[in-house]
Amino acid sequence: MYKLIALDMDGTLFTSDKKITDRTKKAIAAAHAQGVKIVLASGRPLDGLHKPLAELNLISDNEYVLCYNGALAVTAKSGTILSQCTLTGADCKRLFALAQQIGVHCHAFSTKQGLITNETSEYTEYEARLNEMTYTIINPQTDIADDEIIIKVMFIDPPEILNEAVKKVPDWVYEDFNAFNSSPFFFEITNKAVDKGAGLAQLAQRLNIRQEEVIACGDESNDYSMIKYAGLGVAMGNAIDKVKAAANYITDTNDNDGVAKVIEKFILK
């Protein structure tokens, strides 16, 4: 019997127009009523998850969220941190300098300063709107303390620019950090130990839920680790090939109730 289902959001829980369908809401409510933990596993901060959590009636400190691709596990209401895995301000400075060298925009999330960037970009503005946050323009070399807690750094630009820039990312980035595309216009850099799979494993252990009792659904490369970890790893019909290859099951697309169909088949059956 499955006791926890972890859901990526963009491309998984959400349709292409950022909605949660009525069928999906109904399936989630029915699973929750049976005692199944519904865990949103997102690259977003908790601030950016209040609306979907409210829509799914999951705002409570008995509900849990994986934020920033697993860098933080928090309670859904008060945001109490259960586990964290972060970067330093010194790391952040190196990465801002690299972004400038390879010609790509960059922003970062600081526990002290929030969303920070050295130069405004349409994607920083999009991130701020998406997560209901403001952002601050800073000088990375003077305005970030070396020991400041940085959750993640992101290289951000239209896909045609970002893809070319990512080709120039040196080996030390992949050696020192976890670096991956979370969308066609976001390249994320986190602590080497951060991924949704590790965050989900820690949370499941804390809740005394066994690996084989966990379902995880996703579509992008940042979902790969939790799909590999879960007892039932599910790729969306719209998932990238790498995620489909790692999955135990491939469901329908995010625009065709893929999440609802998984819950109906494996939990509500």
Render pLDDT for 202-249 as a digit per residue (tens, 0 to 9): 999 999 999 999 999 999 988 999 999 999 999 999 999 999 999 999
Phi, psi of 260, deg, nearest 5: -55, -40
Q: What is the pLDDT of residue 111?
A: 87
The CATH code for residues 87-191 is 3.30.1240.10
- Residues annotated as catalytic (active site), given as ranges: 8
Q: What is the pLDDT of residue 228?
A: 98
Query: Which architecture does CATH list for 4-84+194-266?
Result: 3-Layer(aba) Sandwich (3.40)
Which pTM was predicted? 0.81
Counting as low any pLDDT under 70, the low residues of the chain are none
Q: What is the pLDDT of residue 135?
A: 96
Give the 3-state secondary structure of 13-73. HCCCCCCCCHHHHHHHHHHHHCCCEEEEECCCCHHHHHHHHHHCCCCCCCCEEEEHHHCEE
Q: What is the pLDDT of residue 156?
A: 97
Domain ranges in the chain are 4-84+194-266, 87-191
Which class for 49: exposed (0-12), middle (13-18), buried (19 or more C-beta within 10 A)? buried
- For residue 96, which amino acid is it? F
Q: What is the pLDDT of residue 182?
A: 81
Q: What is the pLDDT of residue 81?
A: 87
Q: What is the pLDDT of residue 84?
A: 87
Q: How far is the C-alpha of 28 from the C-alpha of 65, rounded, in Å?
A: 15
